[in-house]
């Protein structure tokens, strides 16, 4: 850190003068800190001056805070590189990952996906179909994206998250309408020469998540591919960076950047079976989303996965309204599928249910001093309890739910969706403890989950 110390104190002096102007409005920002010191009477050389300014208790955070107070608008990494003469190599040696490296890790965790389907077409010949005709088999290909969720580089094995609608085609001749010829391509190896065969493990149309499995791939073994690092999407706030990485238009991996426009909303749309209407809880972003981005990752500024892209609004009157499944939901479903379906005949995840319905009151925004962001807090209460389910006779309508503990993990329930989403993580045999307020008096109720609490999520 010697290189840092040589610049820290001169920088503080420079920053203290950054907002000053000379008579007539002339800025003094063109002089270095040493030159300013000489103007103010210092007579030694620059090396002596630097040595005289070193201290033992100065921290980077203090310097950065001083810079922010003086009007600096960049992030910490930009600040280090711009004012302390650091480059990416120096930052890496110091244990700080530059933005370019974070984006690279996201790219190396991204894949292109192609799925081939066979379907039948009926033709009618002659006038009014009286001249013959028949059926013929056609082949269709869908392109999408995915992220490497888990990986064993030594064995060439991986689990990949994508959208259910990427691997499903309503007219497919397969029994489950899922492609029986799925290929994935690593970033930088997007040609048939490097195609990696993948199998379908399971998925959910209602969550639009599917898991693909790669086994014993030599391409993967010899690659620089990485598995994603996942962020807690419950901590996202409006304005956070949203970087979409995917196989736009089936032309290979590309990147677009935007922000989170809405941190959670429910959207109804027609499912990929062209019949069902489903409701998804999604992030809204203004990152450019294109055909082929489906199933690809949405990443934060730090390179961690914050969502799985799955939809956009297509209208001449709308610009840049895209949607992504929050990373918590995507990974909860992914883990559930891997544990429930891999190596089994079932292909749909299963969810434990307490048999309660929830309502919200007192929703309001507040300032979180720890993160320096505006957040939304809701009061979540019970509006109904299903007869014969675990909560029946234990919880009561009107109870305010404050926390839920599953195993050794406790979740604060200050948004209703948290209570809904975390039930995807429950497994038969686990104990769930609900903390609540009843007429202002705190209480807890514990439930041991058995097979009767399970429901299949198609």
Question: Which of 35-49, 86-100, 130-144, 404-418 holds the top average pLDDT?
Answer: 404-418
Q: Where are the domains of the chain?
A: 2-96, 107-221, 233-341, 350-456
CA torsion sign for 141, 144, 148, 149 is: negative
Q: State how far the alpha carbon of 245 is from the alpha carbons of 111, 195, 233, 396, in Å.
A: 9, 19, 17, 45
Domains 107-221 and 233-341 share a fold: yes
**pLDDT in the model for residue 80:** 61
Q: What is the CATH number of domain 107-221?
A: 2.40.10.10
> Taking a C-beta distance cutoff of 8 angstroms, is the pair 401, 436 a contact?
yes
As given in the structure block, the two tokens for residue 1 are 């850190």
Indicate the range of 9-18, 172-181, 271-280, 349-358 predicted with least confidence.
9-18
Query: From 3.90.226.10, 2.40.10.10, 3.40.120.10, 2.60.120.10, which CATH number describes the 233-341 domain?
Result: 2.40.10.10
**pLDDT tens-digit profile of 72-110?**
777 666 666 565 555 555 555 555 566 667 888 999 999
**pLDDT tens-digit profile of 115-168?**
999 999 987 765 555 656 688 999 999 999 999 999 999 999 999 999 999 999
Mean pLDDT calculated for residue range 182-190: 96
What's the mean pLDDT when you consider all of the chain?
Answer: 85
For residues 248 and 290, what is the distance between their CA atoms, to the nearest angstrom? Answer: 5
**pLDDT in the model for residue 371:** 80
Assigned superfamily of 350-456: PDZ domain (2.30.42.10)
pLDDT at 56 over 70: no
- Full-model pTM: 0.78
């Amino acid at each position: 850190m010697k290189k840092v110390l040589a610049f820290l104190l001169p920088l503080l002096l420079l920053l203290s003068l950054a907002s000053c102007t000379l008579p007539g409005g002339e800025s003094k920002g063109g002089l270095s800190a040493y030159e300013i010191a000489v103007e103010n009477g210092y007579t030694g050389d620059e090396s002596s001056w630097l040595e005289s300014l070193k201290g033992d208790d100065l921290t980077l955070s203090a310097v950065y805070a001083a810079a922010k107070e003086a009007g600096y608008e960049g992030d910490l990494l930009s600040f280090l590189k711009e004012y302390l003469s650091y480059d990416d190599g120096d930052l890496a040696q110091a244990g700080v990952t530059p933005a370019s490296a974070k984006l690279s890790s996201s790219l190396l965790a991204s894949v292109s996906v192609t799925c081939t389907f066979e379907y039948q077409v009926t033709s009618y010949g002659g006038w009014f179909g009286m001249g013959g005709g028949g059926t013929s088999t056609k082949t269709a290909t869908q392109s999408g994206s995915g992220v490497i969720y888990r990986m064993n580089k030594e064995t060439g094995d991986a689990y990949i998250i994508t959208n259910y609608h990427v691997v499903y085609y309503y007219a497919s001749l397969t029994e489950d309408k899922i492609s029986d010829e799925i290929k994935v391509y690593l970033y930088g190896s997007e040609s048939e020469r490097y195609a990696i065969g993948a199998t379908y493990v399971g998925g959910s149309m209602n969550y639009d998540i599917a898991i693909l499995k790669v086994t014993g791939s030599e391409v993967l073994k010899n690659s620089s591919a990485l598995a994603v690092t996942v962020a807690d999407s419950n901590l996202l706030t409006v304005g956070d960076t949203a970087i979409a990485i995917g196989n736009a238009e089936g032309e290979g991996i590309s990147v677009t950047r935007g922000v989170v426009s809405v941190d959670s909303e429910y959207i109804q749309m027609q499912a990929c079976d062209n019949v069902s209407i489903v409701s998804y809880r999604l992030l809204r972003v203004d990152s450019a989303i294109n055909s082929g981005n489906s199933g690809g990752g949405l990443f934060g500024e730090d390179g961690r996965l914050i969502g799985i892209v799955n939809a956009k609004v297509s209208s001449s009157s709308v610009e840049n309204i895209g949607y992504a499944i929050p990373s918590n939901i995507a990974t909860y479903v992914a883990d559930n599928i891997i544990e429930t379906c891999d190596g089994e005949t079932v292909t749909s995840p299963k969810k434990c249910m307490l048999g309660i319905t929830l309502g919200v009151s007192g929703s309001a925004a507040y300032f979180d001093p720890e993160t320096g962001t505006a957040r939304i807090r809701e009061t979540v209460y019970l509006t109904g309890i299903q007869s014969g389910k675990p909560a029946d006779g234990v919880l009561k309508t009107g109870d305010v739910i404050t926390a839920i503990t599953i195993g050794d993990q406790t979740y604060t329930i200050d948004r209703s969706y948290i209570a809904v989403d975390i039930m995807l993580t429950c497994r038969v045999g686990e104990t769930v403890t609900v903390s609540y307020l009843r007429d202002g008096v705190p209480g807890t109720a514990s439930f041991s989950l058995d097979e009767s609490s399970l429901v299949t999520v198609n």
